[in-house]
Amino acid sequence: MERPSRQRQRSQETEQEADESVDCPECGSDNIVTDADQGELVCDDCGLVIDERQIDRGPEWRAFNHSERQSKSRVGAPITETMHDRGLTTTIDWKDKDAYGRSLSSEKRSQMHRLRKWQERIRTKDAGERNLQFALSEIDRMASALGVPRSVREVASVIYRRALNEDLIRGRSIEGVATAALYAACRQEGIPRSLDEVAEVSRVPQKEIGRTYRYISQELGLELKPVDPKQFVPRFASALELSEEVQAKATEIIDVSAEQGLLSGKSPTGFAAAAIYAASLLCNEKKTQREVADVAQVTEVTIRNRYQEQIEAMGFR
């Protein structure tokens, strides 16, 4: 009988040499468990203690939840592409406190200030790394303003690094390539952000962003599908405080219109805005064209034109 106080971990015995299996010398069973509390290797069938006083290779501290494990962990953050050095260099904290939380003396504070200053200087060894650091910080700033997830920032950083390795940045602004990489990452990850929205948080004109985006996507062979207007529907409807019924109707309108070929060559944001406007009328949750246009960042004329096409496609007059 296994005592209830013991916490046994059922696992393959990795303390032995590779590919060597451990069998019970008494009954020949290979059902061997490790009792971590007692440091013993025990046969689970007959109860024979095969080995004792094993070395515990786990941590010497105990943790009972995720936050405790994180606070006692001795490993650093994972490697990230969003930093020019991938987060592998040393960072000196700005708290001016020692390991026990006590404030440093004035002499030590000035010494730490000098160390931090030189640490920041030596993190970038040349102009190329400084430019990369600036580009990645721009991507991070714009991604924060757009509210996109961390995965998009990682993908954008990888795209920018690829463009840098292929020497595609020569003759173009760093901000322009960084913005184009972020827009491409949003497209690749299926995050609905229009070119107008990306241009709003960028420091370069929209025309330059579009031109740079087309260039790097072609040169790097990025496989980017056309933007689906349905991706914009939940966000626009939420901003307009519309119900789920309106969202479902707008999605239906887009599907029917797309089947008839009306989507080709049209702006996805304008198409989604018109579908939401039409759906709000059909579901008696009317919103004005100006309200929808402000949320979708398109003109009222665009909404009117797409609205007429979609209503005809749905068979309404």
Q: Report the Cα 158 to chain-centroid distance in Å.
A: 12
Annotated binding site: 24, 27, 43, 46
Q: Read off φ and ψ for residue 19, nearest 5 degrees.
A: 65, 5
Annotated binding site for Zn(2+): 24, 27, 43, 46
CA distances from residue 309 to 30, 131, 302, 312, 316 in whole angstroms, order as listed = 72, 48, 11, 5, 10
Position 257, amino acid: S
Strand partners for 103 = 97
Q: Read off φ and ψ for residue 243, nearest 5 degrees.
A: -80, 170
CA distance 228 to 216: 22
190-198 long-range contacts, Cβ below 8 Å, gap at least 24?
Answer: 190/231, 191/148, 191/149, 191/152, 192/227, 192/231, 192/232, 192/235, 193/146, 193/148, 194/232, 194/268, 194/269, 194/297, 196/269, 196/297, 197/146, 197/297, 198/142, 198/146
Q: Read off φ and ψ for residue 191, nearest 5 degrees.
A: -95, 115
